[in-house]
Structure 1
Amino acid sequence: MLEQGALIDRDAVWQIKREALELVHEVPLGPGRRAAYDAFREEQGQALEDHATWCALAEAHGADWHRWPDGLRDPRSDRTARARRELAHRVDFHSWLVWLTDTQLTAAQRAAREAGMPVGIVHDLAVGVHPGGADAWAQREYFAAGMSVGAPPDAFNARGQDWGLPPWRPDRLAASGYAPFRALLRGLFRYAGALRVDHVMGLFRLWWVPEGHPPTEGTYVRYDAEAMLAVLVLEASRAGAMVIGEDLGTVEPGVREALRARGVYGTSVLWFERDWEGDRRPLPPRGWRADCLATATTHDLPPTAARLSGEHVDLRDSLGLLTRPPREERAEAAADTAEWRELFLRLGLMEPGASEEAEIRAVHRYLLRTPARMIGVWLPDGVGDRRPQNLPGTWSQYPNWRLPIADARGRPMTLEALTASPRLRALLSTLRQ
């Protein structure tokens, strides 16, 4: 039970939802909804047909298309066409689910705008797709077989990273006029007031890791950044949306300048904003760039409470992710936060001996003093959750994306508890002021 601290079992949740949805699917649509559904299927065309076909085949043969019977691995084969006809009811069911999702996302963005949110929903463009999923099956000619996207060793992860995602083939993208990239963006901008592009440096180059090799043996492969950015900016302009690039980690010279010249915002995380070319101390607020989303943390980093307490080092140590003695890591983390606390005190953002909750509010007061055009709030910071939602460098070692959000005592919170949380309300009040 989630209220007792259990992890989210997404397969079990999907099974329950699927059974309910299957019952609803058997109810005939009224004339108006039937016309809307038929129009949606016609509009989405082959892409929707491919997705729904993969879903139906995955139910019959497993979720990794590489292990399907011969013939079904090719979305254009005669055997796949026969299977699509035989599974027509399941193909329709999964097409219907996509239509429901489309109507709900459209309604959510409309409700956000009507409630006074000038941007509304910010959607996310992941750096890649699942190698066994529908995208890799239906568009396999555009993905590099036997390769995975990752990151070279850096200050955050000395071992490098392998994300297990197949990279785009730049030659095939160019030959297609970037058609699959355009279609992907149009699908996202359909509901978005803004789009966050994960690892935006991937529009310039990606770290390719050969299958069976560690990330340290990868290499950079370049893309036509001029073309990729042109497509991105064009689709954003057509949608009247803004773009936020996650430009964190190893960023080659010229990338941030190229993004800024095209109106693409960057991402600035407080703990990384130091005078790296000078005294290496925390940047004063006026030293920050304006064209960015400023945050205290991200989904790949510790919540602020864990950063301030040093618990993030203990977690990484327990999972064997440290490359230096734990004592050195803890000392460095403590020195880092001490410098930030000193700056917050000097700026009058908090009082000496402030509580953890007051310190987190001070962090966000600091962000408000920067010229950043957008401020991001990580929901766990609002309720005091100390656990990272995702811990890079782990797979089965840590329950990534399975943790229900919890309060400072580790108690899972319902939506009602979140909206009524005095701690969260106090933080948001600080931001409004």
Structure 2
Amino acid sequence: MDFGFTAEDEAFREEAREWLAAHADGAADRRTWERTLGKAGWIGLGWTRGGYGNRTATLTQQVAWAEEYARSGAPPRSGHIGENLLAPTLLAHGSDEQRARFLPPVAAGEELWCQGYSEPGAGSDLAGVRTAAVREGSYYRVTGQKLWTSLAHEADWCFVLTRTDPGSRRHHGLTFLLVPMDQPGRVEVRPIRQLTGTSEFNEVFFDGARARAEHVVGGEGGGWRVAMSLLGFERGVSTLAQQTGFAQELERVVREAVESGAVRDPVVRDRLVRQWAELRVLRWNSLRTLGRSGDAGAPSVAKLLWAGWHQRLGELAMLVRGAAATVGPAPWSAAAPYELDALQHLFLFSRADTIYGGSDQIQRTIIAERVLGLPREPKGRQGAV
């Protein structure tokens, strides 16, 4: 694919940059910000079917928007799971009724979503799902626990991978359900405090939670196919925006190395140059694969590359700062004793990069089995971390 930006793309980029400059600084809470984005037509740029989004944009224009958003310093998105994961899944596997019900509120920034995949004992091994859904008339009753559920504390809905056939094993008998989160006594969300002191991830407990039968996506028993399709959407245009954020973090580390004098160390200089060169390779690889479909290994290769790169950047950030890296920013107060600066947050959060979203071991297994055609691991070892 010849991935270049046309004059029309650059005009689109300039429009996005100007809008973000005018609105991002005054953004209120994250939910209000989602509504602001929706009202201005910036959600659902890649939804090319059905007119459910706000405005349509080419693939290169979607990249331009994502990159400008990352550069703008705008608030982190709360609606990206609905926009970038649920919406493409419904466009590919949902019914007309499901698309008409769920996509307009996502495009308007009115309904937020979370993803109910990982479970205790079945983190990256989705075939080990045990959360059960039992059909009762026009509803399913969902019982089980999901773990590491991003933004569940803010979400209105959760798409949940469940087991509807109690006698099934592995990827058989799974069903993809859309479950409302506002069910007191039936859905409980417990934030998980991280090393960074923040709580973006959560445990979610379903105790007989109800989901409408018409909110099954892909048919009962078709959950594995839908879930695998969704994972393919997870590493799309947003990867390039992520790399824009990485470049900003790298610039901050370089400034720190210059200010601290660590840049005079030839080993540090070598590592800084390597980080810069590897980030360029990440971008070129993403551009090369973005317009391709059916490449089973591309998402796993991308995850392996960026996760290791980002983790090494966090380690380098602490190296250039030296002993000062262990001290929090001043002034310290009893009300906020666990404040971190940007580089400390980078180091601590990046420790999880090689685990969440599919651990490195899982990604290597996918490449080995689905791309290289190597023998599958014994069933007792699949999903081991």
* TM-score bracket for this pair, using the shorter chain length: under 0.3
Q: Please report the TM-score for the alignment, with normalisation by the length of structure 1.
A: 0.23
Instruction: State the structure with more CA Rg.
Output: 1
